[in-house]
C-alpha cells in the first residue's frame, strides 16, 4: 500500500463520508435494518449515528488498516457493539444464510471484484433477508456518464480504487438480489458535483 493510501486516504474518506450533504440519505436506508446485521466496507463509521435504536450490535467488514484506525473516535461515540472482521468482501467467512441484513454505503464503487463481493453478500443473507444500499454510480444522463468514464482512472488513483462509473442497479440485480421498487431511489445529491453525486439507494431482497 502506498504512503498516500495509508496516511492521506483515510483522512480524505473520513472528511468526505461524514459530509452533511450525504449524511441525510443514510438514515432512511438504515431505518430498514433488523436482526443480525453485517456492514460491508465500514470505513470510519459514518453510518453509526444513523442506525435505528433497536440495532445494538453490528458485524463489520473492513480491509483497510489505516481507515480502521480513523474509525476509533466514532466507535467510542456510539453505543452499538461492533464485531470487526479485518478482511475483504470478496470472500466472507460466514455460513450461508447467516444474516438478516447486509449494508453497503458508498462501498460498491471501491471493491475490486464487486460482482464476486455481491454474490458473497447474497450468500450470507438468509432467504428473505435484505441488502440495504446507498451508493454513488453511473448517471442516467449520457453527458455526465461520459465524464464519469473519463474521470474514473484518475478517481481510482486518488480515491482508493473508487470508480465513478459503476451501474449500481445492474450490479445488484446481476448478483440475484431483487430490488424492492417502492424503496428504490435515484437522484443527484444537491451541491455535489454531478460526477460523484448520482446516488442510488434502496432495499434488495434475497428470494
What is the contact surface with ligand SAM in residues (CB under 6 A)?
A: 13, 17, 40-41, 43, 46-47, 61-64, 67, 88-90, 105-107, 110-112, 160
Per the CB < 8 A criterion, the answer to whether 114 and 41 are in contact is no
Looking at the Cβ atoms of 59 and 143, the one nearer to ligand SAM is 59
Shortest Å, Cβ 180 to ligand SAM = 21
- Cα 5 to chain centroid distance, Å, stands at 19
Say how far apart CA 74 and CA 47 lie, in whole Å: 10
Cell 449494508 belongs to: 103
177 vs 196, which CB is nearer to ligand SAM? 196
SS3 label, residue 52: coil
Phi, psi angle pair for 82, to nearest 5°: -110, 130
In angstroms, what is the minimal distance from the CB of 3 to ligand SAM?
Answer: 16
Q: Shortest approach of ligand SAM to residue 142 CB, angstroms?
A: 25
Smallest distance from the beta carbon of 98 to ligand SAM, in angstroms?
Answer: 17
110 vs 139, beta carbon nearer ligand SAM: 110
CA-CA-CA-CA dihedral for 18, 79, 76, 60, to nearest 10:
-70
CB nearer to ligand SAM: pick between 105 and 139: 105
Measured from the Cβ of residue 16, the count of other Cβ atoms closer than 10 Å reads: 18
Complex with ligand SAM: residue 114 or 144, whichever CB lies closer: 114
Cell of 82: 461492533
Q: Which residue is nearest to ligand SAM (CB)?
A: 43
Amino acid at each position: 500500500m502506498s504512503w498516500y493510501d495509508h496516511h492521506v486516504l483515510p483522512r480524505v474518506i473520513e472528511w468526505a463520508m461524514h459530509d452533511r450533504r450525504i449524511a441525510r440519505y443514510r438514515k432512511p436506508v438504515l431505518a430498514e435494518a433488523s436482526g443480525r446485521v453485517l456492514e460491508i466496507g465500514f470505513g470510519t463509521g459514518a453510518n453509526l449515528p444513523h442506525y435505528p435504536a433497536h440495532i445494538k450490535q453490528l458485524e463489520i467488514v473492513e480491509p483497510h488498516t489505516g481507515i480502521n484506525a480513523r474509525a476509533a473516535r466514532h466507535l467510542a461515540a456510539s453505543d452499538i457493539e461492533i464485531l470487526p472482521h479485518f478482511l475483504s468482501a470478496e470472500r466472507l467467512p460466514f455460513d450461508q444464510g447467516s444474516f438478516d441484513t447486509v449494508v453497503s454505503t458508498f462501498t460498491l464503487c471501491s471493491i475490486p471484484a464487486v460482482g464476486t463481493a455481491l454474490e458473497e453478500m447474497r450468500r450470507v443473507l438468509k432467504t428473505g433477508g435484505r441488502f440495504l444500499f446507498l451508493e454513488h454510480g453511473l448517471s442516467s444522463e449520457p453527458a455526465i456518464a461520459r465524464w464519469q468514464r473519463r474521470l474514473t482512472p484518475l478517481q481510482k488513483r486518488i480515491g482508493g480504487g473508487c470508480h465513478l462509473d459503476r451501474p449500481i442497479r445492474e450490479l445488484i440485480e446481476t448478483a440475484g438480489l431483487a430490488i424492492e421498487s417502492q424503496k428504490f431511489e435515484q437522484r443527484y445529491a444537491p451541491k455535489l458535483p454531478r460526477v460523484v453525486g448520482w446516488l442510488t439507494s434502496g432495499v434488495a431482497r434475497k428470494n
